[in-house]
Amino acid sequence: MLAQPAGEWSSTGTADELREMFGLVAGDARQLFALPVMWKDRLCGAMLLGWQREVVLEAEDVAYVRDFADRIGVVLSSSAREARLFYQARYDALTDLPNRHLFTERVTQEIARAQRSNLQLVVLFIALDRYKNVNDTMGHAAGDALIREAAARLRKHLRESDTLCRFGGHEFAILLSGDLGPKQADVVAQHAIETLSQPIVTGDVESFITATVGIALYPNDGKSAAELLRNADTACGRAGGQQNYVYFTDSMNQLAMQRSTIERELRQAIERREFMLYYQPKTDFQSGRIVGAEALIRWQHPQRGVVNPGAFIGVAEETGLIVEMGRFALGEGCRQFSDWHSRDIDLRQIAINVSNRQFRAGTVLKDISKNMVEYGLRSGELELEVTESLMVDNFDEVACVLRELRQLGASVALDDFGTGYSSMSYLERLPFDTLKIDMAFVRPIKDNGEGGAIASAIIAMAHSLNKKVVAEGVETQGQVDFLKRLGCHIAQGYFYGKPLPPEEFEALFRRQNPSGGELPNQSAASV
């Protein structure tokens, strides 16, 4: 009979004590022989031999039994080691919570059950947003304590049947089982966010973290554990570190999938020179003549045809590929402009978009002056469209570069004006020529002028700053009338013309700007 002691064990115990200690019913044994089972010099059990009569054991028998007990010690030790390894492979040492492997196993099991019984499951993915900060500034010990406390708080709000796991460094995941849906997910997500936003005291320091939660539901958002977890994670990323919880949607996945494809294809597209520029007219409100064009990049995709920047400019910005693309736009725009001039299309100005990343890359000034010289652009003929966000980080340095740009003879337009983080105080000190009212303030202008308060304020401001003002996204006659009356100088929008390939722009220009003769009706110019 083999037993492990339930309490402290003394080798001097009586048979009755031994029986009690090991919780054994040793029948009517009159004599018990106990042998310790040792593992690494530690007692981990005892072997008991019982006889119904008194016996005298021979030395040989004792040796035999002792050998047997030793073997059992070895077996026990290896099964303990296995148990330890099993535990280490499935639990997180810091929090004692299941780790991602065990969690994935449990999700898989629950999916099988849910499938059989037609149930829903909820997976929540929780990221601690400012954990890295604490870890970096206060050290790993504080970081560890924080994780432990976060785990304890999360655990508190869950039912026994739910599984909480530490998914990775600063990430947790929760599986809610038992036919639960969005209603319960809402509650758990809100609890998690709220409980983690309470200050965490470690030692004598208070730290503040916040949590973001992404939620995926079985069966809608994934049929396998891996898919559900990935989608909950994607949703969490979308919550954007705003103490927010977000449900996974299909479109997130499409985007995530497209992203890597787009990046790969963009790199190829740069090599294969698949980009081209479209040109959108900028029309003088008063004369109705086209006075400029904004160059807008297009991707001539070998399978998908012409792709608008909305589908790739974000990825290009993130990956820095925009620097190369912007350089192309600058060169090609200048080339086209000078080509038009050589063929009597005397457009006054060409506008090129310049991304903040191009400024950061530090080659903007050189690229611009090189192209202006190469294609013979004169002062005022090249306008660079930059966004307000450019000024946020380093106003003085940016202002300095813009000043130099203007010395080269380029003008500067503030694009998408009114949508950035503008602090009005910078406007007076910033060297720029043109304000472009974002279409968000043009779109609401109704035929009776209602909805035009912001556009009209921006126009008034541009006047008093002595800047040229352009309205973007002008689409209706009502908007034209309203903006024109307020003294907006230039219109850009579908009312006057969509972005067009160079030949079509050329044709529009010739129609709209006949040398000498009468202007055609304005709306006839809209494409």
Quick one: tokens of 286?
A: 């008063």
If binding is defined by CB under 6 A, does position 355 make contact with ligand C2E?
yes
DSSP-based three-state secondary structure for 9: coil
If binding is defined by CB under 6 A, does position 493 make contact with ligand C2E?
yes
The upper half-sphere exposure of residue 333, i.e. CA atoms within 13 Å in the direction of its Cβ, equals 31
Contact assessment for residue 295 and residue 277, using Cβ atoms and an 8 Å cutoff: yes
Interaction pattern, residues 412-451, with Ca ion; x per rule: CB under 5 A: ---xx-----------------------------------
Which residue, 262 or 329, has its beta carbon nearer to Ca ion?
329
If binding is defined by CB under 6 A, does position 296 make contact with ligand C2E?
yes
Q: Smallest distance from the beta carbon of 467 to ligand C2E, in angstroms?
A: 18
Quick one: tokens of 68?
A: 């047997």
Q: How many residues bind ligand C2E (CB under 6 A)?
A: 22
Where in 445-474 is the site for ligand C2E (CB under 6 A)?
473-474
Task: Point out the residue whose Cβ comes nearest to Ca ion.
Answer: 385
Of the candidate residues 50, 214, 499, 502, the single one contacting ligand C2E (CB under 6 A): 499
Q: Which residues pair with 201 in a beta bridge?
A: 206
Q: According to the 3-state scheme, what is the secondary structure of 278-331?
A: EEEEEEECCCCCEEEEEEEEEEEECCCEEECHHHCHHHHHHHCHHHHHHHHHHH
34, containing H or E segment: strand 31-39
Alpha-carbon separation of residue 429 from 131, 164, 170, 425 (angstroms): 39, 54, 43, 8
If binding is defined by CB under 6 A, does position 297 make contact with ligand C2E?
yes
Which residue, 121 or 334, has its beta carbon nearer to ligand C2E?
334
Q: Please report, in angstroms and rounded to a whole number, the separation of the first and last CA atoms in the chain.
A: 95
The partner in contact with residue 37, picked from ligand C2E, Ca ion, none with C-beta cut-offs of 5 to 8 angstroms by kind, is: none
If binding is defined by CB under 6 A, does position 326 make contact with ligand C2E?
yes
Interaction pattern, residues 345-364, with Ca ion; x per rule: CB under 5 A: --------x-----------
Whose tokens are 């554990």? That residue is: 225
| Residues 448/452/458/463 CA torsion (nearest 10 deg) | 10
> Within a 10 A sphere around the Cβ of 160, how many other Cβ atoms?
5
Quick one: tokens of 118?
A: 């037609």
Is the preceding omega at residue 520 within 30 degrees of 0, hence cis? Answer: no
Interaction pattern, residues 97-136, with ligand C2E; x per rule: CB under 6 A: ----------------------------------------
Binding range to Ca ion, per CB under 5 A, among 354-362, 365-373, 388-396, 467-475: 467-475
Which residue, 133 or 356, has its beta carbon nearer to ligand C2E?
356
CA angle 333, 338, 344 (to 5 degrees): 125
Which residue, 192 or 483, has its beta carbon nearer to ligand C2E?
483
Q: Which residues bind ligand C2E (CB under 6 A)?
A: 280, 296-297, 308-310, 313, 322, 326, 329, 353, 355, 385, 415-416, 473-475, 492-494, 499
Q: Which residues bind Ca ion (CB under 5 A)?
A: 353, 385, 415-416, 472
